[in-house]
Amino acid sequence: MECRGYLRASTKKISIIITLSLRNSPLLYLHKKHYLLDGFCSFLYSAPMNNMAIYKIQSIGEKLPLARFEKTLNRFSKVLNYAFKGGVLTLGMAPLCPGPFRIILESGDLQQVESLQLTADELIINDALAISYDESHAWKVVEPDKTQDFATLKPVVKESFDLYRQGLSEVSMAFFLISNAAPLKGFDEELRKTFQLGLLKLEQENSPEFVPLFKGRGKGLTPSGDDFLCGYLLALGWLEKQGLGDFADLREALYKAALGTNILVNSFLFQSYKFWLDADWQDFFNAFACSDLNEVSHTQKRILGYGATSGADLLYGVYMALSKHLNLQGFKEAG
């Protein structure tokens, strides 16, 4: 058994942080104003109580640098984003899916996490709590599965698009564009016009000229248009890996045209361009590869749950790319 203790004082409160690691047992992290140290057993016993969390690592993405991360870009209840040179680290709680730039915790309390430091075998939280990890936690980028039967691919894409349309949030870009019912006004109407023009351009030309009509536009913390472009890049990457075309130049041109000043967006664009997939996306594309509509629909639902509309907008980009480059008809008609 190993026990390390730290005493930290700040202007607001004094906190005692103790880490305790037992073989094969989770790490404990205590953080409380007045805590009586009356024996380790009581820690274990009271583990589920407030102000105390057990931190367990599920996965650490292989593309993350061994570095210290302290500048949070944004902080949600289940996700923290940190900027670093060359990308964004996402610290999240399971069931958020693993990814090459993600650290996923099985348990813990994100609200208490300030700084992170990644070493070759430890993740150190708030300079106080060290959690060891090994190869088994590493999340690695793997090549997507090869499509088994190209004949069934198209109908599966079409059907999954139908499913997609049915579950759309009313504020997503696709909903604006697909539903012909809505007389919009003001900002939404302007946005729709721009996106429509963008789609038209996208269909007519094989160049990145449509990018400016999406880039930086739309709602959400990552604008809908940027999500769309990420999705488009992802799908091009996949098609290429399936041997369905050589899009290397187009992908690079799109990526460069899409880059802007938002670190979060740029990081997602980079990841999409590199085709370093998060687990959900890997499952999604692999489900296409074996024409398993059930699995497609299942992973699609998970992706649709991203943000308010991010998932929907990403998927719309994917479908628009697949539609164009697989020569599928009927992707824009009313639902």
Partner 1 sequence: MNTLAKTISGKYLDSVKLMLISKELRSLKGVEDAVAITATKENKEILAATGMLVPDAEAASETEIVIVIKAADEETAKAAMQKATSLVENPPAPVSGIISSEVRNLAKAIEILPEANLCLISVAGKYAAAEAEKALDKGLHVMLFSDNVSLEDELALKHKALKKGLLMMGPDCGTAIINGLPLAFANNVPTGNIGIVSASGTGLQDITCGIANRGCGITQAFGTGGRDGKKEIGGIMLKACLQYLMDDTDTEVIVLMGKTPAPEVLNELMRLIKQTHKPVIVNFLKQIELPELPNLQSSVSLAETAELACQACKKPYTEIDSPVYKIPTLPQNRKYIRGLYSGGTLCQEAILIYKRLFGAEPFSNVGAKLLAEGWHTQEDSYIDMGSDEFTVGRPHPMIDYSLRLKKLSEEAADKQVGVILLDVVLGYGAHPDPASELVPVLQKFPGEICIVCHVLGTDADPQDRQKQIAALRECGVYAFTSHANAVDFSLKTLMKNRENV
Partner 2 sequence: MIKLDKGKPKVINIGLESFAADLLSQGAEVISVAWKPPLNIDKRWTELIERSRDKIEAANTKALEIINAGRPVLVGMGIAGDVIPGMHKNLILHAGPPITWEKMCGPMHGAIIGALLYEGRAKTPEEAEELAASGTIDYAPCHEHGCTGPMAGIISPSMPVFIIKNEAYGNYTYATQNEGLGKVLRYGAYSEEVIVRLKWMETVLYPVLSKAIKFLGTINLQGLIAQALHMGDEVHNRNRAGTSLLIRQLAPAILKTSVDAEQSAAVLDFINGNDHFFLNLSMPACKAALDPARNIPGSSIAVVMARNGTEFGVQLSAMGDRWFTGPALVPDALYFPGYSKADANPDIGDSAITETGGLGGFAIAAAPAIVQFVGGTAKDALSYTLSMYEICFGESSSYQIPALDFRGTPLGIDVVKVIENNLSPVIDTGVAHKNPGVGQVGAGVVKAPFEPFIKAYQALAESFDNYKE
Q: With CB under 8 A as the contact rule, which of the stretches 11-19, 60-68, 132-140, 182-190 interacts with partner 2? A: 182-190
Q: What are all long-range contacts of 291-296, with beta carbons under 8 Å and residues at least 24 apart?
A: 291/147, 291/148, 291/149, 291/152, 291/153, 291/156, 292/156, 293/156, 293/159, 293/160, 296/156, 296/160, 296/163
| 74: contact with partner 1 by CB under 8 A | yes
| 95: contact with partner 1 by CB under 8 A | no
CB nearer partner 1, residue 99 or residue 223:
223
| 196: contact with partner 1 by CB under 8 A | no
Cβ neighbours around 313 below 10 Å, total: 30
| 184: contact with partner 2 by CB under 8 A | yes
| 186: contact with partner 2 by CB under 8 A | no
| 21: contact with partner 1 by CB under 8 A | no
The token pair at 70 is 């302290």
| 187: contact with partner 1 by CB under 8 A | yes
Residues in 118-177 that interact with partner 1 by CB under 8 A: 171
Q: With CB under 8 A as the contact rule, which of the stretches 7-15, 16-24, 175-183, 219-227 interacts with partner 1? A: 219-227
* Residue 176 interacts with, from partner 2, partner 1, none (CB under 5-8 Å by kind): partner 2
Give the angle subtended at the CA of 46 by the CAs of 42 and 48, to the nearest 5°: 155
What is the number of residues in the chain? Answer: 335
User: What is the rounded CA–CA span in Å between residue 195 and residue 120?
Assistant: 45
Give the angle subtended at the CA of 90 by the CAs of 134 and 55, to the nearest 5°: 50
Q: In this chain, which of 1, 7, 36, 181 binds partner 2, going by CB under 8 A?
A: 181
Q: What are all long-range contacts of 218-221, with beta carbons under 8 Å and residues at least 24 apart?
A: 218/173, 218/191, 218/313, 219/171, 219/308, 219/309, 220/307, 220/308, 220/309, 220/310, 220/313, 221/74, 221/264, 221/307, 221/310
Q: With CB under 8 A as the contact rule, which of the stretches 67-75, 87-95, 117-125, 277-285 interacts with partner 1? A: 67-75
Kindly calculate the radius of gyration of the chain based on its CA atoms and give it in whole angstroms: 23
| 167: contact with partner 2 by CB under 8 A | yes
CB of 142 to partner 1, least distance (A): 30
Q: Which of 157, 192, 132 is nearest to 293 (CA)?
A: 157
| 215: contact with partner 1 by CB under 8 A | yes
Q: In this chain, which of 176, 195, 288, 319 binds partner 2, going by CB under 8 A?
A: 176
CB of 215 to partner 1, least distance (A): 6
| 112: contact with partner 1 by CB under 8 A | no
| 155: contact with partner 2 by CB under 8 A | no
CB of 260 to partner 1, least distance (A): 7
Residues in 254-273 that interact with partner 1 by CB under 8 A: 260-263
Residues near partner 1 (CB under 8 A): 72, 74-77, 171, 185-191, 194, 212, 215-223, 225, 260-263, 307-310
